Amino acid sequence: MLNLQAGQTKKRVMAIASGGGHWEQMMMLRDAFAGHDVTFVTTLAGLGERSGLSNVRIVPDCNRNKPVRAFFALLRILWVIISLRPQVIISTGALPGVIALALGKRLGARTIWVDSIANAEEFSMAGALARNHAHLWMSQWPSVATDNGATYAGSVL
């Protein structure tokens, strides 16, 4: 299991989440990154500032229905990963997070997926895609974790 608790060796962490609920859940997790060098990545300009963050990068939002936009998001996310060289990449969703985990894993980062609390009966589509790219694949619901072979460690709410 990956450990980001205080007292551990300081790590470069990239925390990526699309806007809306994904971002809100990432903000609820941010205390877990205390003592680490964290860069937050999101899809909406201004979210970082509203959350009191200064180290924020913006990437294009994308979804499965817009493959050209997903390609441009992939290029931007790759650039962010290459420039940051994170040791750990964590995402609460959605597709930009899956892309970051897939690229980051291939570039040597440890990867964590925390599926949205909204997915109480099954993994999200992005979460299902993230399974093959996450060293630690988590659900915030014990039954969903058990049914899918994921890790459950509680919920952010």
Q: How do residues 37-70 score in pLDDT, each as one tens digit?
A: 999 999 999 999 999 999 999 999 999 999 999 9
Buried b (16+ CB within 10 A) or exposed e, 18-48: bbeebbbbbbebeebbeebebbbbbbeeebb
| Closest by Cα among 135, 136, 131 to 151 | 136
For the full predicted model, state whether its pTM sits above 0.75: yes
Candidates 60, 25, 27; CA nearest to 42 is 60
Residue 5 pLDDT exceeds 80: no
Domains in the chain: ranges and CATH? 12-152 (3.40.50.2000)
What is the per-residue pLDDT across 84-143, written as a single tens digit (0 to 9) for each?
999 999 999 999 999 999 999 999 999 999 999 999 999 999 999 999 999 999 999 999
Average pLDDT value over all residues in the chain: 94
pLDDT at residue 136, rounded to an integer: 98
Say if residue 100 is preceded by a cis peptide, omega within 30 of 0.
no
How many residues are listed for the chain in this entry? 157
